[in-house]
Structure 1
């Protein structure tokens, strides 16, 4: 994989995840207690032996940049030609923000060309999954392809939010529609369609030529799914690569956590006895920044109060001091005080839940003090009156640093 360069697109606004993305980019949103969303894509790169990585940022990138600087650069050795570089918009070619996924790569084409890769792997930094990109590149080479797209079977209802592909018996793509209103189903399976995962392998020279060509088209959206891919299906060798899940469960695991509800559900799935995503697989580790924090601590067992957690993820530095946590994810250095109840909730780092407070189906962002005796997630009218976000499914979100009136 020495001739492979990975480009991670991490510049999206993540507006559907607000207020969690009010102060950070979507890939920097915490997930599963210890992790950030982008950690899964970056871990896939390292586990696939891809050692040259460019992360393209744009909106609210400071938190993401800090996370990668503190937690990821130590894994790679610049002297051996290995690196992970965070690249903000350079405006070397245009003075505009990135106009689409292809434009984001085009505006950084000089950085790509300097590495002289044979293949370029384009990745999104905001999905949760495990995948060996080495197998994807090997399939690309075996097919003598110009482009290879990772593909996932999804329901027809879900397919309206994806690029949908039709393939022949050799998995060569013969049709592609971006987010069609009426997706074409997989032959023999009227309930599912073949969706693009937004993961591409390009021959480098072909990619550079196509990006330069697309940049001159004023009518183009400068997007891989809308423009680059459809324009080359008939004339070039474009193949699909069926998703091979390194999570090694009965059902393939891939999650787009782009909405509050999908993000909430994906986190709570981790608390089940046999979670669909295995975070404990030493053969496919998920890496992240691990600060120097003490172990989690559970305090009091006096009969009237007990620090306890059931079916939950409790991160390092947490103190559960006489409170009760059930089916929840508790982020680093948070504290659950006496008689507090936290049920089906996600608590980010450095949160203090006051005595006798009760949280249900609630996400609490960092650096929030939950006052004593308050109830959140029980009366949605009261939650909205306090300025909290409440989703259609009833998930309440308390924004970062929120000053909560009692």
Structure 2
């Protein structure tokens, strides 16, 4: 497809301090064997986009290790392929970028040198399956300056402050845009994905440089909603917005529902690709008992696991009961322990005989490399 993909790996890291304290948002583990970056990457690859870049800001080592050359997404190519941009200074722009426009200023040379007609901007904090060919077709039909992908859904005061809310007229042209408002009810909520002609994006960036604009949401969408032709493309499938530890927990556990699992991983658009690892099959011991859980490869299960997500190379000890929990890769849960509504980050250990009880509306989080 004649489009350049640009993925922002950690534009919303400020809203997920626990999970993103030592990694970019794109590198956050999800669903037993995936990272959040896998979903926008797979969307673009499944849509026929074979040239894209990832813009990082901080803590991007694990993201670079995960993506590598892009071969697991068929992006290891002599022409096109994938390019990762660590943060760097250009001209008067020093230090970390301060917004989406500020980030785009620093890769303007890369955008200008690209031959593609369209550019797709996407974040990593929203999970969904979409065919960008349909969005670009709609973009052309509307003769749009910016086409924003959105979903009509219910939100509340707690999570609305991480969302962009659109109001459209009968022709689906935006007539008002609210950025991170405090509101509730059913709204047209942006999925942090936009399609533009490359030439138009270049003009936006040059204008941002002249006016010292830094934030795409405030300085372009909200400020210029009446002067630009901004249209909305409605998405109607499964989606999950990971904008807090609570939403991460709820959407992860939500994958244990067959309907959500099939919509995300078995859609007609294409599979979700991730880094291939040569783990051994999971070992289920004689006294193990597993119910309604996702168990990745390389694990050893000796105890009971219910309604939980267990990542690669995790060990669950004898007589241990893990319920409604998320155990990330290389975690070790000792013997005779009880865990309920717990999230353990990578390489965390829970020693023998420990009882850790969280709540579904307030899961207990254990940091990376911690020993409890």
* SS of the residue 2:352 aligns to: coil
* Corresponding residue of 1:360: 340
1:229 and 2:230 equivalent? no
Mapped contact 2:13–2:24 kept (Cα < 8 A): yes
* Corresponding residue of 2:296: 315
* Corresponding residue of 1:266: 251
Mapped contact 2:23–2:61 kept (Cα < 8 A): yes
* SS of the residue 1:355 aligns to: coil
1:27 and 2:21 equivalent? no
Which whole-Å deviations, capped at 9, do the CAs of 1:194-246 have from their partners, x for residues lacking one?
2222211111111111111122224x4x222111123433333221111143x
How much does 1:25 deviate? 1.0
Single out whichever of 326-335 and 254-263 deviates more from structure 2.
Answer: 254-263
Mapped contact 2:341–2:360 kept (Cα < 8 A): no
- CA pair 12-280 structure 1, distance change in 2 beyond 3 A: closer
* Corresponding residue of 1:86: 84
Partners of 2:193 and 2:95 in 1: CA distance: 25
Partners of 1:163 and 1:360 in 2: CA distance: 34
Partners of 1:339 and 1:91 in 2: CA distance: 54
TM-score by length of 1: 0.85
Gaps of 5+ in 1: 184-190, 246-252, 301-305, 379-390
How much does 1:277 deviate? 5.5
* Corresponding residue of 1:123: 122
- CA pair 64-87 structure 1, distance change in 2 beyond 3 A: same
- CA pair 169-287 structure 1, distance change in 2 beyond 3 A: same
- CA pair 354-73 structure 1, distance change in 2 beyond 3 A: closer
RMSD: 2.1
How much does 1:137 deviate? 0.8
Alignment of 1:98-137 (within 5 A): 98-137=97-136
Mapped contact 2:317–2:334 kept (Cα < 8 A): yes
Question: Which of 351, 363, 366 is residue 371 of structure 1 equivalent to?
Answer: 351
How much does 1:77 deviate? 4.4
- CA pair 181-77 structure 1, distance change in 2 beyond 3 A: closer
Partners of 1:74 and 1:227 in 2: CA distance: 34
* Corresponding residue of 1:240: 232
* SS of the residue 1:66 aligns to: helix
Mapped contact 2:351–2:371 kept (Cα < 8 A): no
Partners of 1:72 and 1:270 in 2: CA distance: 27
Which whole-Å deviations, capped at 9, do the CAs of 1:116-175 have from their partners, x for residues lacking one?
321111100221111111111111011121111112113363555422222222212222
* SS of the residue 2:127 aligns to: strand
- CA pair 37-261 structure 1, distance change in 2 beyond 3 A: same
Mapped contact 2:129–2:264 kept (Cα < 8 A): no
Partners of 2:48 and 2:343 in 1: CA distance: 35
Partners of 1:33 and 1:71 in 2: CA distance: 20
Partners of 2:295 and 2:107 in 1: CA distance: 40
When Rg is computed on C-alpha atoms for both structures, the one with the higher figure is 1
How much does 1:313 deviate? 0.3
Which whole-Å deviations, capped at 9, do the CAs of 1:230-264 have from their partners, x for residues lacking one?
3433333221111143xxxxxxx221112111101
Partners of 2:259 and 2:292 in 1: CA distance: 11
Partners of 1:312 and 1:74 in 2: CA distance: 27
- CA pair 285-177 structure 1, distance change in 2 beyond 3 A: same
Question: Which of 273, 280, 298 is residue 294 of structure 1 equivalent to?
Answer: 280
Gaps of 5+ in 2: none
* Corresponding residue of 2:142: 143
1:398 and 2:366 equivalent? yes
- CA pair 180-397 structure 1, distance change in 2 beyond 3 A: closer
Partners of 2:11 and 2:167 in 1: CA distance: 28
TM-score by length of 2: 0.93
Partners of 1:327 and 1:365 in 2: CA distance: 18
